[in-house]
A and B are shown apart, each in its own frame.
Chain A
């Protein structure tokens, strides 16, 4: 019965599996940011750049994985390819937030150049990271 109960709530498990990897990586980014801040290599006010990876990225990863599981896309599209499409949604949101927060290091032109590399990294992260978490959580 407990095993059956643990197989329930697939959407919550899918969300958690999606959120996990960017949340861990955020610690690395935050560590680098703090070191840069302590050594005064980061200009003041750049803390605003952390809002997007802290608040938006992990939640969108979770929701994207939830979408993958709830729509039953596993038979039709690989999780890596599905994850590689996420930057198409995420990058415009990042550019918009950067513009709203007055972050000049990131413009639409930069986004267009960076998009293929971001998609490639996402493909690998989703195929080997989120895919692994989905397997461990029995999201088949």
Chain B
């Protein structure tokens, strides 16, 4: 197959197959994700602190609760 035949085949293939459209993302989604991740989380108030204290105290007082807790997570 000489160069002329090769270029003929190349032209025919190009004509038969349309070029792909650029389907890539036009915008970078990562900055949006970062913005959402950096939004302030709910305040850790006195109620949440009391809950943590209650949980720690109950686990220290009743260590058998720990495997039961793990069973439900």
Contacts and interface: CB of A to CB of B under 8 A. Distances in A.
A25 to B, nearest CB: 5
Nearest to A60: B72
Contacts of A91: 72
A135 to B, nearest CB: 6
Interface in B27-73: 27, 29, 32-33, 36-37, 39, 41-42, 44, 48, 51-52, 54-55, 58-59, 62, 64-65, 67-73
A29 B72 contact: no
Secondary structure at chain A's binding surface: helix, strand, loop or mixed?
Answer: helix
B69 A113 contact: no
Contacts, number: 78
B41 A87 contact: no
A121 interface: yes
Contact of A118 (B26, B48, B68): B68
Interface in A85-106: 87, 90-91, 94, 98, 105-106
A43 to B, nearest CB: 12
Contacts of A127: 42, 48
Nearest to B42: A127
Given A105-B67, A106-B68, A118-B68, A3 B29 contact: yes
B42 A114 contact: no
16 contacts: A25-B73, A26-B73, A29-B73, A87-B72, A90-B72, A98-B71, A110-B64, A114-B68, A114-B69, A123-B51, A124-B55, A125-B73, A127-B48, A135-B36, A136-B33, A136-B37
